[in-house]
Chains A and B, each alone.
Chain A
Amino acid sequence: MTDYSFSFKNNVRLIGRLDIKGENLIKGIHLEGLRVIGPPNEYAHKYYLQGVDELIYMDCVASLYRRNHLANIISSAAENIFVPLTVGGGIRSVDDANKILRAGADKVAINTAAVENPQLISDISRKFGSQCMVLSVEAKQISDNKWEVFTNNGREKTGLDVVEWIKKCIDLGVGEILLTSVDREGTRKGFDNLLVRNVTEESSVPVIASGGMGSPEDIFKVINEGGASAIAMADILHYGRSNINEIRNFAMQSGFGVREYSVE
């Protein structure tokens, strides 16, 4: 008989994050100063072939201007990309969520609209299942061991404490947390491991750490010390400073479990 009493290492998810403005893939620093990179699905498909575990599309101006171009991009991505797609930005109602899910998204990520109307979280998770409802949190450090929730791409303060807000949203039916450090985002200084640790200690649902990955080595601390279930990568992939394969190999050498994948 095989012995299953050991605690098995769950595979870490390596997620590509695509920030979108209009029809373009863009990248900023601290979620601002946006620079155009190129057509999002060209990058998405490249990452898919490299064996990315999931993709997150974030429309970064949708909340601000209350518009959303993402459905077309998602619909065409879902034609030849067979990994889970999470979509966020500008989803303000159950109907918005339904539209983007029908376009081919598997999960929706919500930040601004959830802060304005927390009931939206329960409405979406009741209608589509909590596995579908990702809470997107933009966190800025305000003092030692304290982070505040921001909305509209890190522009607006909410006065909410990150950990308290996340606990409340889990009670409302959130199935996963996308945790973005606004301080680290686009800086290549590494993840905010302390922020991630504070959240994963209190969260009963998986946490995706986002913001600041400068090199493959950065994943070591965010998983070991931060306790992240998944990491989201943008800049490092878009500018070709590394690629999924190299990052996966580094993760394996560091003793983490990753998805079995061979590049053809």
Chain B
Amino acid sequence: MNEIVVIDYGVGNLLSVKRGLEHCGAKVKITSKPKDIINASKVILPGVGAFKNAMKSLNRLGLIDVIKEISNREINLLGICLGMQLLLDESDEFGVTKGLGLIPGRVVAIPSKNKDGISNKIPHIGWSNLINSEGNAYWDQGILKKVKPGDSSYFIHSYMALTNEKKYTIAYCMYGSEKIPAVVQSNRIIGCQFHPEKSGKVGLNILREFCES
């Protein structure tokens, strides 16, 4: 199995991601060196916290162009939680901030009220069932291959990544009456809003699929 490169830019519980990957039998390198990232075959962009701070950290480490370059190469990239949101064009969080622009779409706040006026507790924290986006064939081909529609994974977030076109959203979950993208994908660029490293067996199967893909 190839080595998995996890990008260290100062945010996120890297230890858990590393332990999850190792549990799947992967060799893991945690790094912020552009050379390591661009020469990898599989890269994970983790992250928790605020969008703006994350982009600032990536910028300071000179990693924005490096990650963008990934999409031109034979490299599989998986963004987790905030790392997924960073893949989109921009975010509304604390004023509009530009993202990496690898998947067309924008990051917006989860509405604090449902359409029927019932309030949603924010953040969305908990295990939500993954639902297959209509007519999307990626489910059976990508990281969700071993996951059944209806399986649950662990989410913790206040913003959501809305893709411009339906075809980029592979799976979603419901929070109140909100439809929240759970897995987004454009070719080799993949993002999941939930934490696979914290989602028990279902999450480990997703990580394993990414490692073996």
Query: Footprint of B on A, CB under 8 Å?
Result: 2, 4-8, 10-13, 48, 51, 53, 78-80, 82-84, 101-106, 128-132, 175-176, 203-207, 229-230, 257-261
Determine if A82 and B23 form an interchain contact, defined as CB atoms under 8 angstroms apart: yes
Determine if B118 and A82 form an interchain contact, defined as CB atoms under 8 angstroms apart: no
- Describe B's contact surface by its main secondary structure: mixed
Q: Which residues of chain B (192-208) have a CB below 8 Å from chain A?
A: 195, 197-201, 203-204
Assuming A6-B177, A10-B176, A229-B126, what are 17 further A-B pairs, CB within 8 angstroms? Answer: A4-B177, A8-B176, A8-B177, A10-B128, A11-B127, A13-B126, A13-B127, A82-B19, A82-B23, A83-B200, A84-B154, A106-B13, A130-B158, A206-B125, A207-B121, A260-B151, A260-B152
Determine if A131 and B174 form an interchain contact, defined as CB atoms under 8 angstroms apart: no
Output the nearest chain B residue to A106 by Cβ-Cβ distance.
B13
For the complex, give the distance between the alpha carbons of A78 and B198 in Å. 10
Determine if A7 and B175 form an interchain contact, defined as CB atoms under 8 angstroms apart: no
- Shortest Cβ distance from B170 into chain A, in angstroms? 16
Determine if A82 and B203 form an interchain contact, defined as CB atoms under 8 angstroms apart: yes
Question: How many interface residues does chain B have, given as a range?
Answer: 35 or more
Determine if B121 and A129 form an interchain contact, defined as CB atoms under 8 angstroms apart: no
Output the nearest chain B residue to A177 by Cβ-Cβ distance.
B121
Partner of A10, one of B119, B134, B175, B179: B175
Please tell me if B48 contacts chain A, counting CB pairs below 8 Å. Answer: yes
Determine if A229 and B125 form an interchain contact, defined as CB atoms under 8 angstroms apart: yes
For the complex, give the distance between the alpha carbons of A101 and B151 in Å. 28
Determine if A7 and B126 form an interchain contact, defined as CB atoms under 8 angstroms apart: no
Determine if A11 and B121 form an interchain contact, defined as CB atoms under 8 angstroms apart: no
B191 contact set on A, CB distance < 8 A: none
For the complex, give the distance between the alpha carbons of A230 and B121 in Å. 12
Output the nearest chain A residue to B197 by Cβ-Cβ distance.
A82
A261 contact set on B, CB distance < 8 A: 152, 200
Determine if A8 and B16 form an interchain contact, defined as CB atoms under 8 angstroms apart: no
Partner of B121, one of A2, A105, A204, A260: A204
A203 contact set on B, CB distance < 8 A: 121
Determine if A205 and B129 form an interchain contact, defined as CB atoms under 8 angstroms apart: no
Determine if B119 and A204 form an interchain contact, defined as CB atoms under 8 angstroms apart: yes
